[in-house]
Chains A and B, each alone.
Chain A
C-alpha cells in the first residue's frame, strides 16, 4: 500500500524559504522507474506541477519556478524534500507530493498516488 504525507510550516513570511518534506511508504525511491513529484493548488484554483525527482536522482523543475526550487531525496529515510525560496503571498497554496512510475516501454505516467496535502499560507 502506497502512502505519502506532506509536512512543513503552515505559515511563512514573505521572502522566507519554504521547506516541505514528503514522507512515504509502500515503495522505494531506489527502485528503477519510481519517482516523486510536487504539485500545488492555490485556494479555489487549478493544480500546478512544480518539480519531480527520479529514482536515479535526476531532477526536473517547472520552468517558471526553476530558479526558486530545489528537490532532494533521502532514500534511507523514505523522504523527498522541496525547498522554495523567496516566498510571496501568491505562493499560498496546498502543496501535494505524489508518486509516479515511469516505464520506458509505456512512456510518461500520471501521478497515481497523492498525499493529503499541506496548506501553506504566506503572510507577514
Chain B
C-alpha cells in the first residue's frame, strides 16, 4: 500500500496570506495525485488532479505542484472560505487509492 503523509497536521495562517501544504508518497505516484478540500459536515471537494490541474470551478488562487513523491498545494491569498481540512490522494496505484491524514488549515 502506498502511504501518503501530509504536513503539517495543522497550519495557522492569516487571511490574505499564502498557505503551503505538503504531501509525500511512500513511493512514486507519478503525477496521479489529487487534492480535496473538506469543510465540516460536507463531502470532500476535488480541487486539483494530475498534481497541478485545477478542477472545474476552482479559483486560480489554488495551485498544485510536484511529481513522484513530493507534492505541494498552495493557496496564494487565503479567503475566509478556504479554512478547511485538505487531503491529498494518490490514484497511481488504481484502484487502491490512498489518502493522506489531512492538514487542517485554520485562521491565525
Q: Which residues from chain A sit less than 8 Å from chain B, CB to CB?
A: 37, 45-49, 52, 60, 62-63, 96, 102, 107-117
B78: interface (CB < 8 Å):
no
**In the complex, chain A residues whose CB is within 8 Å of the CB of B99:** 46-49
The DSSP consensus for interface residues of chain B is loop
Chain B residues numbered 75-99 whose CB sits less than 8 Å from any CB in chain A: 87, 89, 91-92, 94-99
**In the complex, chain A residues whose CB is within 8 Å of the CB of B87:** 46-47
Given A46-B99, A46-B102, A47-B87: A107 and B32 interface contact (C-beta under 8 Å): yes
Stretch of B12-20, B38-46, B66-74 lying at the A interface: B38-46
Chain B's nearest CB lies how many Å from the CB of A49?
Answer: 4
Partner of B92, one of A52, A108, A111, A115: A108
**In the complex, chain B residues whose CB is within 8 Å of the CB of A107:** 32, 94
What 8 new A-B contacts, CB under 8 Å, besides A37-B95, A96-B43, A114-B46?
A: A49-B95, A52-B95, A60-B95, A96-B44, A102-B94, A108-B32, A110-B34, A114-B44
**In the complex, chain B residues whose CB is within 8 Å of the CB of A117:** 43
Assembled-state Cα–Cα distance A48/B95 (Å): 12
Q: Which residues from chain B sit less than 8 Å from chain A, CB to CB?
A: 32, 34, 42-46, 49, 55, 87, 89, 91-92, 94-102
A116 touches B43 (CB 8 A): yes
Interface centre among B46, B49, B95 (most CB of A within 10 A): B95
Assembled-state Cα–Cα distance A63/B95 (Å): 11
Chain B's nearest CB lies how many Å from the CB of A37?
Answer: 8
- In the complex, which residue of chain A has the Cβ closest to the Cβ of B91? A108
- In the complex, which residue of chain A has the Cβ closest to the Cβ of B92? A108
Assembled-state Cα–Cα distance A46/B94 (Å): 18
Please name 28 pairs of A and B residues whose Cβ atoms are closer than 8 Å in the assembled complex, sorted by A: A46-B87, A46-B101, A46-B102, A47-B99, A48-B99, A49-B95, A49-B96, A49-B97, A49-B99, A62-B96, A63-B96, A108-B32, A108-B92, A108-B95, A109-B49, A109-B91, A109-B94, A110-B34, A110-B49, A111-B34, A111-B97, A112-B49, A112-B55, A113-B46, A114-B45, A114-B46, A115-B43, A116-B43
